Amino acid sequence: MLTFTVPDMSCGHCAATIGKAAREAAPGAEVKVDLGTKRVEIEGAADATKVAAAIRAAGYEPAAA
C-alpha cells in the first residue's frame, strides 16, 4: 500500500481533486482519501512516483506519510 500525506488538503473539493488525480495515475487501484487525516491511501498496483506527480500536477504537494 502507498500512503501520502497532503498537508494542503483542506476541504472536500481538495479531497475530490486529489482523489481524482490519484485514481487517474493508478488505474485499477483502490484510492482512499481521508480529509480528516489529510492522507491518501492507494491499495493495489500503483507507481509512487507517478501518483506523486499527478497530485503535484493537480496543485498539491504530497509528502511521504
Pick the closer one to Cu ion by CB: 44 or 59: 59
* Nearest-10 Cα torsion for 9, 46, 24, 42: -40
Is 51:4 a contact under the CB 8 Å cutoff? yes
Q: State the nearest-atom distance from the C-beta of 11 to Cu ion, in Å.
A: 3
Q: State the nearest-atom distance from the C-beta of 45 to Cu ion, in Å.
A: 28
Pick the closer one to Cu ion by CB: 31 or 46: 31
Closest CA to 56 of 30, 48, 2: 48
Q: Which residues bind Cu ion (CB under 5 A)?
A: 10-11, 13-14
Q: State the nearest-atom distance from the C-beta of 65 to Cu ion, in Å.
A: 19
Pick the closer one to Cu ion by CB: 46 or 54: 54
Is 65:59 a contact under the CB 8 Å cutoff? no
